Structure 1
Amino acid sequence: MLICFSASHKNAGFDMLERLSANANQAAPRILEGHDAVKGAVVVATCNRFEAYLDLDAPDGSSPVEVVHEAVRAVGSVADLDAAELRQTFGFVHGNAVAGHLFSVASGLESVVVGEGEIAGQVKRSLELARAEGTTTPELERLFQRASQTSRRVKNETELGGEGRSLVRLALDLAESRVTDWAQTRTLLVGTGRFAGASLAALRDRGVTDVVVYSPSGRGTKFAANHGIEPVSAAAYASVAASVDLIVTCTTADRQVVDRDLLRAGRAAQAEASALPVIGDAEPLLHADRRQLVVDLGLPRNVAPDVVEVPGVELLDLETIKIHAPLEEFAATDAARSIVLHDARAFGESGEEQRLAPAVVALRKHVFDILDAEIERAASRGDDDGRTEAALRHMAGVLLHTPMVRSRELARSGDQRAWIDGLDALFGIAPAAAAQTGADRGAASAPADPAATSAAQHTRSAG
């Protein structure tokens, strides 16, 4: 059984998302340690989302509530958050509806900026991390690989795939009114991680040419060489940060890399170099009329809120960006949701067929065991010209055709139990108990519409 629980910009506060995101790498292993029924876990953590996708081995007829509560407790323990509060915040999705939810997320339909492009890569990296940690399963692999395929379809077949849909670009749109001339804007990019390349591309699209990069982790030189810009050393960081017009932070560092003290120290150093007097905490004359914009795209926060205490400094962070996110473009969004609906339903149908596979194998074995016995009997009577064998094999194929078609039809409707019971009643064929249990679980967890809208399937508690 697949289960997903999630917190996002739609149902959780920024502080909670920040805590969850900061500890996301520890969550999946801890979830697996919490309960034997959890076979696998993949965690998706972005600047506006934390989601855990679980593959449960729930016994026939059992409730997954205890397992889910234990998983939520595990997440709370690594993020130092109260489990009861998390249960009240998380949205829960189960069964085949999980596919519809993940496909929608991977396609950018649940993002702050609908259709934003970075999320598909984040979903892919989440699966890669789970592989590295050994927390994924074949069913979770199938789920996430199909999600990547769906996101590519949405990008290629709808207007949501157009260039420029991202948090980075929205942030720069909001900064437009504060920037006189992009071509003359001196910019410091802090970070070389997942958003740095996209941030640099978005800046260049607006005509920014004067960009330098600083990396808290020491990767600035390599990033600068790859992108044709200059790196900033740790010794020069404060001075450069104080001198530029725009700072864009997008680092995965677990500490704040820009704060009031950094900018004040940089300004004081510049004033000293210019032989300007600095009296107490007063602003040096060199910066008296400066306007400086700091854009924080990091989660956890890269920038301390106290930077606005420095005269002339404005802060644009994720909370502000979320408030100004544009409305969905309804036609393009409807087309994208149709693709998600189709692909999620197909995922559910193929899953039901896979759960029925042991019974299909049992029927084919039954038929071909009889066939081989008859062929051997015919050969013992001297019929060795091959015509009898060919006729018997053709007849077996014809006989199996209708049961195979019906198996797929019943699996897609969630009624594979009827097919298994029919085999037992007609032929005395009973697939392995484990296979029957898997089929029962699939039927029990699958809603009538496997890709029903996520709003209808989210609940506020696992109970």
Structure 2
Amino acid sequence: MLMCLTANHRNTSFEMLEKLSIGAPRAAGILVSDSVAISGAVVLATCNRFEAYLEIDDSLAADSAAAMENSMQVIGLASGVDAEELRSSVTVLSGTDVAEHLFAVSSGLESVIVGEDEISGQVRRSLAQARIAGTTSSGLERLFQKAANTSREVKSQTAVGGAGRSLVRLGLELASSRIVDWSSSRVLIVGTGQYAATTVAALRDRGAEDLTVFSPSGRAAKFALRLGLTASTNLVTALAAADVVITCTASEAPVVSAAHLVAGDRRIVIDLGLPRNVDPDVSTITGIELLDLETISLHAPLEELSATRDARALVSSVASEFAASTTEQQLTPAIVALRSHVFGLLEAEITRAHSRGDEDGRIEAALRHLTGVLLHTPSVRARELARAGDGQSFSDAVTALFGIDAVSETATQLTRDNLSA
């Protein structure tokens, strides 16, 4: 069973999101290693959301409430957030709601700017990080891979996700009301990650030419060489020379503070980091105007209603199909167990027929044909019940009519197959 704990810009303060983005990603390994019920965990932490996607072992699904409570405790402890405060800030989703939510998130439908460019890549990277950490699972792999496909479908089949939608571009748009000519502005970029590369592209689209990069981790020279920028190794000097400062690093502590700046010329500082890269005390310096994520999000444009409606309809349809196929897969043990049981009886009858003189094989052929006919309807009904959300009734019927434990029968059959291979 899939579950999701989600905290985002709609239901959680940026202060809480900042705390979660620092510590909670480390909690994934603890959740998987310390919980019997949780078989997989993928954490998605972006500038406006924190989400933990969990797979609960189906045989322990009754313990899902306890697993959720334990997850709250682990995430809260890792983030330095009181569990009760976290509980009031996080929404818990389960079952089919998880797929529809992630597909919408990956398609940019839950972002500050609907259809933003970066989120689909962040979703893919969160799965890659879980693979490296060894916390993913087969169910989460299917879920996240389908999310990536859905994101591409939404962008190709609807008007959502026009080129250039991002918080970076919105921040630059807000700054443009203060900047007469980007081509003559000196811009300092603090950071060298994917977000920094996106920032460089957005700046050049606006005509900015004088671009300098500083990296707290010492990667500025390599980044500058790759993108044709000027590298700086002295933050204070670079800040003093810039008209516009844009921060976008993964640092867990502020990189720029009031101590790095002096009062004087007018300067715009755009903080795109979460956790924040710029200490709020910067705004006390005369001449400094600070635009942080919270400020930028307040100016997010309204959704294009028709385009968003079309995209959500597509996401809902894909999520329903995903849920149906997932349920069908969950019935596989029962179907395999039934077929194994029936074919076991068939082979016994064929052996008996041969011992009684079935030289021409007519009895065997008739028995195999009859078996195929008898199994056809149960197989079709299994898929129909699964898609109707009533797959458990099929498993229960197999157990009641044939006395078959689907899990143990399937395991036994797999063992036989492996031994005979």
Same fold (TM over 0.5): yes
Mapping of residues 337-352 of structure 1, within 5 Å: 337-352=312-327
Aligned-partner Cα distance in 2 for 1:261–1:432: 64
**Percent same amino acid among aligned pairs?**
53
Residue 368 of structure 1: aligned partner: 343
Aligned-partner Cα distance in 1 for 2:36–2:348: 44
Residue 443 of structure 1: aligned partner: none
Residue 254 of structure 2: aligned partner: 256
Shift of the 397–226 alpha-carbon distance from structure 1 to 2, 3 Å rule, reads farther
Among 286, 302, 309, which residue is 2:284 paired with? 309
Indicate if the aligned counterparts of 1:217 and 1:253 stay in contact, CA closer than 8 A.
no
| TM-score, normalised via structure 2 length | 0.91
Gaps of 5+ in 2: 411-421
Give the CA deviation at 1:418. 2.3
Shift of the 161–391 alpha-carbon distance from structure 1 to 2, 3 Å rule, reads farther
> Which SS does the other structure have where 1:114 is aligned?
coil
> Which SS does the other structure have where 1:45 is aligned?
strand
Aligned-partner Cα distance in 1 for 2:360–2:231: 81
> Which SS does the other structure have where 2:39 is aligned?
strand
Indicate if the aligned counterparts of 2:37 and 2:60 stay in contact, CA closer than 8 A.
no
1:206-246 residue CA offsets vs partner (Å, 9 max, x unmatched): 11121111111111111112112221123xx3122111211
Pair 1:140-2:115 in alignment: no
Residue 432 of structure 1: aligned partner: 407
Aligned-partner Cα distance in 1 for 2:118–2:268: 24
Shift of the 328–432 alpha-carbon distance from structure 1 to 2, 3 Å rule, reads same
- Bigger shift: residues 45-54 or 415-424: 415-424
Residue 415 of structure 2: aligned partner: none
Pair 1:223-2:223 in alignment: yes
1:123-152 residue CA offsets vs partner (Å, 9 max, x unmatched): 111111111112121111111111111111
Pair 1:323-2:298 in alignment: yes
Give the CA deviation at 1:28. 0.9
The higher-RCO structure (CA 8 Å, 6+ apart) is: 1
Q: Aligned pairs, how many? A: 411
Gaps of 5+ in 1: 265-282, 436-463
Aligned-partner Cα distance in 1 for 2:85–2:124: 29
1:325-373 residue CA offsets vs partner (Å, 9 max, x unmatched): 1111111111111121111111211111111111100122123233434
Pair 1:27-2:27 in alignment: yes
Residue 280 of structure 1: aligned partner: none
Structure 2: which amino acid aligns with 1:101? H
1:283-308 residue CA offsets vs partner (Å, 9 max, x unmatched): 5xxx4xx3211111001111112222
Among 395, 403, 414, which residue is 2:389 paired with? 414
Aligned-partner Cα distance in 1 for 2:401–2:22: 57
Indicate if the aligned counterparts of 1:58 and 1:64 stay in contact, CA closer than 8 A.
no
> Which SS does the other structure have where 2:374 is aligned?
helix
Structure 1: which amino acid aligns with 2:311? A
Aligned-partner Cα distance in 1 for 2:332–2:148: 25
Aligned-partner Cα distance in 2 for 1:434–1:299: 50
> Which SS does the other structure have where 2:213 is aligned?
strand
Indicate if the aligned counterparts of 1:7 and 1:90 stay in contact, CA closer than 8 A.
yes
Shift of the 59–378 alpha-carbon distance from structure 1 to 2, 3 Å rule, reads closer
Residue 414 of structure 2: aligned partner: none
Pair 1:177-2:182 in alignment: no
Give the CA deviation at 1:110. 0.9
Aligned-partner Cα distance in 1 for 2:227–2:10: 35
Residue 114 of structure 1: aligned partner: 114
Shift of the 27–365 alpha-carbon distance from structure 1 to 2, 3 Å rule, reads same
Shift of the 331–384 alpha-carbon distance from structure 1 to 2, 3 Å rule, reads farther
Indicate if the aligned counterparts of 1:30 and 1:75 stay in contact, CA closer than 8 A.
no
Residue 76 of structure 2: aligned partner: 76
Pair 1:67-2:67 in alignment: yes
Indicate if the aligned counterparts of 1:255 and 1:302 stay in contact, CA closer than 8 A.
yes
Aligned-partner Cα distance in 1 for 2:63–2:344: 40
Among 236, 239, 250, which residue is 1:238 paired with? 236
Give the CA deviation at 1:392. 4.6
Indicate if the aligned counterparts of 1:186 and 1:211 stay in contact, CA closer than 8 A.
yes
Aligned-partner Cα distance in 1 for 2:100–2:360: 55
Indicate if the aligned counterparts of 1:12 and 1:89 stay in contact, CA closer than 8 A.
yes
1:226-284 residue CA offsets vs partner (Å, 9 max, x unmatched): 112221123xx3122111211111111122222222122xxxxxxxxxxxxxxxxxx5x
Shift of the 126–60 alpha-carbon distance from structure 1 to 2, 3 Å rule, reads closer
Aligned-partner Cα distance in 2 for 1:333–1:78: 36
Shift of the 16–421 alpha-carbon distance from structure 1 to 2, 3 Å rule, reads closer
Provide the aligned C-alpha RMSD in A. 2.3
Indicate if the aligned counterparts of 2:337 and 2:409 stay in contact, CA closer than 8 A.
no
